[in-house]
Structures are given as C-alpha cells and as structure tokens.
Structure 1
Amino acid sequence: MRTRLSVCRRKRRFAGEDAAKAAALAATITLRPYRCDRCFGFHLTGRTRGKRSL
C-alpha cells in the first residue's frame, strides 16, 4: 500500500531503521517501523495485523 503524501508529512521521519526500531520499542503502544515510499525514510505504524513484531 502506498503512503499518501499528507500522511508522510505528518509523521516523524527517522533516518535509519535502527533509530525507528528503538523508538518503536520505547513506545507504550505496539508500533512497527516501515520504509516510506515517498520520502525513503522510516516511519512508525500501529498497523501490525499479519506483520512480524519486533
């Protein structure tokens, strides 16, 4: 699924996957990092259905 540009602009961008994983593990809710196809950085998502957890 392609990320909408308006969603990409609202989300925090991480330069690397390691930084995104660290932020996801530090969060109080379950989050998963993914590479954005718009900015080519990493964002976090709460959609974890059918995906591997950290």
Structure 2
Amino acid sequence: MRTRLRICKTKMRFADQAAAQVVSAHYDQLVRPYRCDRCGAWHLTSRRKGKRIARPAASAPE
C-alpha cells in the first residue's frame, strides 16, 4: 500500500532509521519506523496489519 501524499506531508521526517527509533522510544504506544515510498525519509507508524516487521539481527555462532 502506497503512502498518500497528504499523510506523508503531515508526518515527522527522519533522515535515518536510527533517528526514528530514538524518537519512537519516547511514545507510550508501540510505534515503529518505516521508509516512506513517497519522500524516501523515515516516518513512524502504529499500524501493524500488513506490515513486515524486521527480524532482529542473528548473532554469530560461537
């Protein structure tokens, strides 16, 4: 699903995923960063349905 331009314009923009995650930690509600297909920046969303959640990086075997 493509982000609507009107929605993109009203959301905060972050230069990278790390910056978005820092801000998302301050919210009471669960929010996650995603790359916008309109502007290429990172936004925050609380939507979970139909969104892929990145798996944590696998640790190297010892």
Q: Deviations over 1:9-42 (max 9, x none)?
A: 0000001100001111121111010000010000
Name the structure 2 match of 1:31. Answer: 31
Shift of 1:46: 0.7
Query: Identity over aligned residues, as a percent?
Result: 47
> What 5-or-longer segments of structure 1 have no aligned partner?
none
User: What's the secondary structure of 1:34's corresponding residue?
Assistant: strand
- Normalised by the length of structure 2, the TM-score is 0.76
Larger proportion of helix? 1
- Normalised by the length of structure 1, the TM-score is 0.85
Q: Give the Cα–Cα distance (whole angstroms) in 2 for the partners of residues 44 and 15 of structure 1.
A: 12
Shift of 1:49: 3.5
Q: Quick check: which has more Rg, 1 or 2?
A: 2
Which amino acid counterpart does residue 23 of structure 1 have in structure 2? Answer: V
Runs of 4+ in 1 over 3 A off after TM superposition: 49-53
> What 5-or-longer segments of structure 2 have no aligned partner?
55-62
- Number of equivalences: 54
Q: CA RMSD in A?
A: 1.9
Name the structure 1 match of 2:18. Answer: 18
